[in-house]
Structure 1
Amino acid sequence: FTGGKAVGYRNLFQTPWSSFMADDSPYFIKDTLHLRAELTIKPQ
C-alpha cells in the first residue's frame, strides 16, 4: 500500500460521536475499541 490513493470513503460509524463514545457503546468491550474494516481492491 505504498503510493496508492484513497478513492472514496464514507461515514464509517453512521452515528453521532456522543453515541459512539457512550458507556453502552457496542464498539467498546471491556474498555477496548473493537472495529472491523472491509477493504475492496479493484483493478484499474
Structure 2
Amino acid sequence: MHLEELDDPQKFADEGVKVITWQEYASRLHELKDEITRYWLG
C-alpha cells in the first residue's frame, strides 16, 4: 500500500482497485482458516 492510497482511498477504488474494510478482511481470513482446518482434518 502506498501513502497516496491512505490519503485518498476512494480515488484508488474508482480506478478499479478493490478496497475492503477490515471487517471484510477479517471475515475472509476466518473463512480461509476454516477451509484449511477442514482440509487438514478431512
The structure with the greater share of residues assigned to helix is 2
The structure with the greater share of residues assigned to strand is 1
Fold match by TM threshold 0.5: no
TM-score (norm 1): 0.22
Higher RCO (C-alpha 8 Å, min separation 6)? 2
TM-score (norm 2): 0.22
